[in-house]
């Protein structure tokens, strides 16, 4: 059903091909979060893998910074409709984190947990490979607090609410448990190319 | 919290039933729409427009009206000169036109009467829109809940719902209004002193809701944490995102 009088401003073909359905290209880097920036001191920062409530392995900032580094550059897509192209991130891949812990993933699902008590669920299979990481740098500089620094999850092939800011750990769960937004009507998986914004999409 | 087993959120057609100027740049659009679930104050909708060739554009807008049973919502939309969707609303949309909506959306930046107060609302520019929904809801459903709106705008001409807010401040016992006009004489960006004054007038809020531009909200949230509010009591929503 066409909207009377709406013609739209189509972006160039090359841009349209890179935009998932319903998205528009943003040049800035908008900030979205549920509350204030948590105040994080690097001296007391830690990153912990848990299975349920049981800690499996924990790193302090110095230890975490010594892990192998991974870089990724590409496009990110926010469920609020903006996409940003060619963003450059650096951090530690989830594969390398698991290797450093000397374990393989104990379950097929996990919840990423933030210092602001935010949570979001991601299937473990989606965290394999060089693009899923705990990122500490954006465009060559430490990630600013507004964008989730000192460390945030990066899962760029899913809507960006899955890339939890101020991440403090990953908690493996037996089944796929919804996180903060997933319990409030947002999609459990969140694939931008299938426009999985909300439950049932 | 919204039911995790929630049903799909379908697109619905919505008809513009009234258009009214709010300020020189902002218009209020009343849309007749039948949602299949209750709305909460503070939520938003996704709007979708379709061109004759099938091209579509989507944007999100906060709802300005209070939850009601009458099958309509109000959106306040600023006509941005280069806005693909807001430009349509500003220069094309007329009463009787039909667009597509889905919602209501969002379960974090919401206030229910049973959430109680005191309620501290901090809005910057058009960020006041979801706070207006909360105030309108409070006036009808929970007038005993104390509420203070600290509203920062560039000048008096840009204050949304100015007459309504001034009248509420006069007529509603539990509602207090602090207008901060940054570009008028003596005006300034919100700072620790303004936050301290707001907290003195409202008391320690049980809930604080902050909405506006990224810079405004980040700054206000930091000031509230500095003033000793528990971060978990502060909810933020940012425009331009």
Same domain, B194 and B131: yes
Which residues of chain A lie closer than 8 angstroms to B241, CB-CB?
Answer: 30-32, 78, 80, 82
A140 touches chain B (CB under 8 A): no
- DSSP codes, chain B: ---TTPPP---EEEEEEEEEESSSSEEEEEEE---SS---BT-EEEEEEE-TTS-EEEEEEEB-SPP-SSSEEEEEEE--TT-TTHHHHHHT--TT-EEEEEEEE-SSS-B-GGG---EEEEEEGGGGHHHHHHHHHHHHH-TTS-EEEEEEESSGGG-TTHHHHHHHHHH-TTEEEEEEETTSTT-----HHHHHHHHHHH-S-SEEEEEE-HHHHHHHHHHHHHTT--GGGEEEEES--
A146 touches chain B (CB under 8 A): yes
Per-residue pLDDT for chain B (241 aa), expressed as one digit of tens each?
445 456 889 999 999 999 999 999 999 999 999 999 999 999 999 999 999 999 999 999 999 999 999 999 999 999 988 899 999 999 999 999 999 999 999 999 999 999 999 999 999 999 999 999 999 999 999 999 999 999 999 999 999 999 999 999 999 999 999 999 999 888 889 999 999 999 999 999 999 999 999 999 999 999 999 999 999 999 999 986 4
Same domain, B147 and B89: no
In this complex, do B218 and A146 lie within 8 Å of one another by their Cβ atoms? yes
| Three-state secondary structure call for residue A41 | coil
Same domain, B171 and B97: no
In this complex, do A24 and B55 lie within 8 Å of one another by their Cβ atoms? no
A175 touches chain B (CB under 8 A): no
Token pair of B219 as six digits: 């700054």
What's the pLDDT at B187? 84
What's the pLDDT at A23? 95
Cβ pair A100, A89 in contact under 8 A: no
Which residues of chain B lie closer than 8 angstroms to A34, CB-CB?
Answer: 108-109, 235-236
Q: What are phi and psi of A126, to 5 degrees?
A: -80, -5
Q: A195 to chain B, minimum CA–CA distance in Å?
A: 12
Domain that holds residue B19: 12-104
Average pLDDT over residues A165-194: 97
Which residues of chain B lie closer than 8 angstroms to A40, CB-CB?
Answer: none
**Which CATH number does the domain housing residue B190 bear?**
3.40.50.80
Cβ pair A173, A107 in contact under 8 A: yes
Domains of chain A plus CATH, in order, are 21-26+45-194 (3.90.420.10)
Consecutive H or E run containing A182: none
**Which CATH number does the domain housing residue B74 bear?**
2.40.30.10
Does any domain span residue B82?
yes
In this complex, do B92 and A36 lie within 8 Å of one another by their Cβ atoms? no
What's the pLDDT at A39? 96
A172 touches chain B (CB under 8 A): no
Which segments of A19-70 does DSSP mark as H helices, in order? 61-65
Does any domain span residue B5?
no
Same domain, B127 and B217: yes
What's the pLDDT at B205? 98
Which residues of chain B lie closer than 8 angstroms to A3, CB-CB?
Answer: 49-51, 88, 97-100
Number of domains making up chain B: 2
Give A11's contacts (C-beta < 8 A, 6+ positions apart): A19, A24, A25
In this complex, do A2 and B51 lie within 8 Å of one another by their Cβ atoms? yes
Q: A86 to chain B, minimum CA–CA distance in Å?
A: 18
What's the pLDDT at A81? 93
Domain's final residue, options B68, B84, B104: B104
Does any domain span residue B215?
yes
How are the residues of chain A apportioned to helix, strand and coil, as percentages rounded to the nearest 5? 15, 35, 50
Q: Other C-beta atoms within 10 Å of B30: how many?
A: 18
In this complex, do A1 and B13 lie within 8 Å of one another by their Cβ atoms? yes
Of B84, B93, B221, the CB nearest to A9: B84
What's the pLDDT at A12? 92
Same domain, B220 and B127: yes
What's the pLDDT at B186? 80
What's the pLDDT at B124? 97
Same domain, B73 and B168: no
In this complex, do B57 and A8 lie within 8 Å of one another by their Cβ atoms? yes
**Cβ-based burial of B122 (10 A; exposed 0-12, middle 13-18, buried ≥19):** buried
What's the pLDDT at B233? 97
Average pLDDT over residues A103-112: 98
In this complex, do A183 and B4 lie within 8 Å of one another by their Cβ atoms? yes
What's the pLDDT at B5? 52
Q: B74 to chain A, minimum CA–CA distance in Å?
A: 19
Same domain, B51 and B136: no
pLDDT, tens digit, for every residue of A5-23?
999 988 999 999 999 999 9
In this complex, do A31 and B224 lie within 8 Å of one another by their Cβ atoms? no
Average pLDDT over residues A96-125: 98
Same domain, B120 and B234: yes
Rg of chain B taking only CA atoms, in angstroms: 18
CB pairs under 8 A between A and B: 127
What's the pLDDT at B89? 97
Same domain, B66 and B118: no
Q: A178 to chain B, minimum CA–CA distance in Å?
A: 8
Average pLDDT over residues A68-96: 97
Q: What's the CA gap between B77 and A48, in Å, rounded? A: 44
Cβ pair A64, A49 in contact under 8 A: no
Q: B221 to chain A, minimum CA–CA distance in Å?
A: 5
Which one-letter DSSP state was computed for residue A32? -
Cβ pair B12, B48 in contact under 8 A: no
Residue A121 predicted with pLDDT over 60: yes
A38 touches chain B (CB under 8 A): yes
What's the pLDDT at B4? 46
In this complex, do B98 and A1 lie within 8 Å of one another by their Cβ atoms? yes
Whole-prediction pTM value?
A: 0.94
What's the pLDDT at B81? 80
Cβ pair B67, B130 in contact under 8 A: no
Per the listing, tokens 């919290």 go with B1
Note the maximum CA span of chain B: 57
Of B6, B55, B235, the CB nearest to A8: B55
In this complex, do B50 and A6 lie within 8 Å of one another by their Cβ atoms? yes
Same domain, B221 and B117: yes
């Amino acid at each position: 059903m066409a909207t009377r009088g709406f013609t739209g401003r189509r972006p160039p073909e090359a841009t349209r091909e890179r935009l998932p359905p319903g998205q528009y290209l943003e040049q800035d880097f908008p900030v979205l979060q549920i509350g204030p920036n948590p105040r994080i001191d690097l001296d007391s920062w830690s990153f912990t893998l848990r299975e349920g409530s049981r800690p499996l392995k924990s790193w302090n900032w110095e230890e975490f910074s010594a892990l192998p580094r991974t870089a990724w550059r590409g496009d990110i897509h926010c469920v609020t409709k903006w996409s940003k192209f060619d963003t450059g991130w650096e951090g530690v891949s989830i594969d390398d984190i698991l290797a450093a812990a000397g374990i393989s993933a104990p379950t097929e699902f996990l919840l990423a947990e933030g210092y602001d008590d935010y949570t979001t669920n991601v299937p473990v299979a989606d965290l394999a490979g060089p693009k899923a990481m705990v990122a500490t740098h954006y465009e060559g500089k430490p990630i600013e607090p507004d964008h989730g620094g000192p460390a945030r999850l990066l899962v760029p092939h899913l809507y960006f609410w899955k890339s939890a800011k101020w991440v403090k750990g990953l908690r493996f769960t037996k089944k796929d448990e919804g996180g903060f937004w997933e319990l409030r009507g947002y999609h459990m998986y969140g694939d931008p190319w299938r426009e999985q914004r909300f439950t049932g999409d | 919290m919204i039911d995790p087993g929630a049903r799909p959120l379908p697109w619905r057609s919505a008809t513009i039933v009234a258009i009214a100027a709010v300020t020189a740049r902002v218009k209020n659009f009343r849309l007749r729409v039948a949602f299949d679930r209750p709305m909460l104050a503070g939520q938003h909708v996704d709007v979708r427009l379709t061109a004759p060739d099938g091209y579509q554009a989507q944007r999100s807008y906060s709802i300005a009206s209070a939850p009601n049973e009458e099958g309509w919502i109000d959106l306040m939309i600023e006509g941005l000169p280069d806005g693909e969707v807001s430009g349509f609303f500003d220069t094309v949309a007329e009463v009787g036109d039909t667009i597509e909506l889905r919602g209501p959306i969002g379960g974090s930046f919401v206030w229910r009467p049973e959430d109680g107060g005191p309620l501290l609302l901090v809005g910057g520019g058009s960020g006041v829109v979801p706070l207006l929904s909360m105030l309108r809801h409070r006036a009808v459903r929970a007038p005993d809940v104390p509420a203070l709106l600290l509203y920062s705008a560039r000048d008096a001409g840009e204050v949304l719902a100015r007459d309504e807010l001034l009248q509420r401040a006069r007529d509603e016992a539990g509602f207090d209004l602090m207008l901060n006009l940054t570009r008028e004489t003596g005006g300034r960006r919100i700072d620790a002193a303004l936050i301290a004054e707001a907290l003195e007038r409202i008391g320690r809020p049980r809930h604080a809701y902050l909405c506006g531009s990224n810079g405004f909200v980040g700054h206000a949230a930091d000031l509230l944490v500095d003033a000793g509010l528990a971060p978990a009591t502060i909810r933020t929503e940012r425009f331009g995102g």
